[in-house]
Amino acid sequence: MNVKIVNKSKHPNPEYATKFSAGLDLRANLDNALIIKPLERKLVGTGLYIEIPEGFEAQIRPRSGLALKKGISVLNSPGTIDSDYRGEIGVILVNVSNKEILIEDGERICQMVFAKHEQITFVNSKEISETKRGTGGFGHTGIK
């Protein structure tokens, strides 16, 4: 699948790290390094603009290494970029560690995964089918 990209950043286009990678690493596009205090959140620009084909979305997800090593995550994870969005890709980072974290220009801050999706139409009904699980909620199917 081809996706048009306008790259206004100082960095190369995102690439897959390996042949079997699902996500592309996105980099912070900053004029100056950024400090994120404990429990603080910041919107970080990437300088990237993309044209996603209809029927697809781009999901923004945390990088596991950044989460483990620095305590940085993507706040609305996964974030969704709809196919009709044409603005700059921005990433909401949150610091869940107990110390200030420095984010530098060009640092890999998240990954982007493309996914096919469908739109549904609701059909009003007076009932829905029953299942073995039924109305069992959070943790209901957990193994003991």
What is the pTM assigned to this prediction? 0.89
Whole-number pLDDT of residue 19: 95
Helical residues (DSSP H) of the chain, grouped into ranges: 64-70
The 8-class DSSP code of residue 129 comes to -
- Least Cα distance to 67 among 96, 30, 34, 41 occurs for 96
Distance CA(106)–CA(123), nearest Å, equals 47
d(CA 117, CA 120): 10
**Mean pLDDT, residues 33-37 taken together:** 98
The secondary structure of 95-125 as a DSSP string is: E-SSS-EEE-TT-EEEEEEEEE---------
Domains and CATH numbers, the chain: 4-12+22-116 (2.70.40.10)
| pLDDT digits 0-9 by tens, 39-57 | 999 999 999 999 999 999 9
pLDDT for residue 84: 98
Instruction: Report residue 138's pLDDT band, with 50, 70 and 90 as the boundaries.
Output: confident
Is residue 6's pLDDT more than 90? yes
- Compute the distance between CA of residue 45 and CA of residue 30 in angstroms, rounded to an integer: 7
Tens-place pLDDT, residues 103-127: 999 999 999 999 999 999 999 999 9
Average pLDDT over residues 50-79: 96
Backbone φ and ψ for 68, nearest 5 degrees, come out as -70, -50
pLDDT number for residue 29: 98
Supply the DSSP symbol for 66: H
